[in-house]
Amino acid sequence: MTISKLLRVCSLLCLGVALPVGAQTQTTSTWQLGVGSTRVLDTYLSAEKFSGQGLTLLHTSERRRDGRQWSFLSEHELNVATVDDRAAKRDELQGSYTLLAGPLRRWDVGSLTLQAGAMGALDVGFIYHTSNSNNPAQARLSLTVMPTAAAAYGLTLWRRRLLLRYELQLPMVGLMFSPNYGQSYYELFSLGHYDRNVVPTTFVSAPTFRQQLSVEYPVSRLLSLRLGYLGHYQQSSVNNLKSHVLHHRVMIGVVRSFTLMPLQP
């Protein structure tokens, strides 16, 4: 195998797709930037609710082999927001990174495409309260199995083939890191006082869900513009602490479609 072929194989494996020799894969890659409101409540830091504006960078990649009904979907979501309390006297900084990845089964019914499957969601983030001198920050870490469904419908408008798409992820089971009520990070990390800080979660204790609605307008055979809405609602009630981080974003971006050619033996 030449160096160029080896690099192609490594890049595919890093993207989560292992292709057998001779496979041809249709790939759709989307970059989107979003702006909108964020609402934050974390009773470990404050009983007050905070709200403000935030930004989201989202990259989505879907790969499907020719003739197969299964595809592999991965999404990287980066959020950052600044929020204030209702009196505008205290503020918080919120940031998070979410990775979702998993297989989806596809059904084509005329102009309608349905997909269903399950994705793993890894979420890493923080909330920093600028007014707290003791325990000013809260770390966020969770791993969740999320059943996923999507529907896409193609229609012709202005002599262009538009694509309407809706995607939904719902929680099932997972694990979450959380300090216990009244427990400081000094006790947890410096003194090593474990107090049920890795908590199993379900859709009851952590009703986190995520949805996207978008429309795509093609500008060429391989390139489209996408306009849509992203709602990411992260909620939990564990260890006598309540938390929610609610993102509402208006998204705009570009969609690029291309074909990965088969590797030669």
Give the residue from 103, 105, 101, 92 showing the smallest Cα distance to 140: 92
Identify whether 22 is part of a domain: no
Residues whose CB is less than 8 angstroms from the CB of residue 150 and which lie 6 or more positions away in sequence, other chains included: 104, 114, 115, 116, 165, 166, 167, 168
Q: Residue 9: what pLDDT? A: 43
Structural domain harbouring 46: 29-260
Distances (CA, A) of 165 to 151, 157, 265: 6, 15, 38
Mean pLDDT value of segment 46-59: 96
More confident residue, 89 or 43: 43
- On the question of pLDDT at 262 being above 70, the answer is no
Q: Would you place residue 121 in the very low, low, confident or very high pLDDT band (cuts 50, 70, 90)?
A: very high
State how far the Cα of 209 lies from the Cα of 206, in Å rounded to an integer. Answer: 9
Domain count, the chain: 1
Query: pLDDT tens digits, residue range 4-38?
Result: 444 344 444 444 444 444 568 889 999 999 999 99
Mean pLDDT value of segment 256-265: 68
Q: Residue 157: what pLDDT? A: 78
Identify whether 9 is part of a domain: no
Identify whether 199 is part of a domain: yes
107 burial via Cβ count (<10 Å: 0-12, 13-18, 19+): exposed
Give the residue from 162, 165, 178 showing the smallest Cα distance to 242: 178
Q: Residue 134: what pLDDT? A: 76
Identify whether 142 is part of a domain: yes
Mean pLDDT value of segment 157-184: 92
Identify whether 13 is part of a domain: no
What CATH number should be reported for the domain holding residue 119? 2.40.128.100
Identify whether 207 is part of a domain: yes
Q: pTM for the whole thing? A: 0.86
Identify whether 167 is part of a domain: yes
Amino acid, single-letter form, for residue 83: V
Identify whether 17 is part of a domain: no
Lowest mean pLDDT among 113-117, 159-163, 196-200, 242-246: 159-163
Q: Residue 49: what pLDDT? A: 94
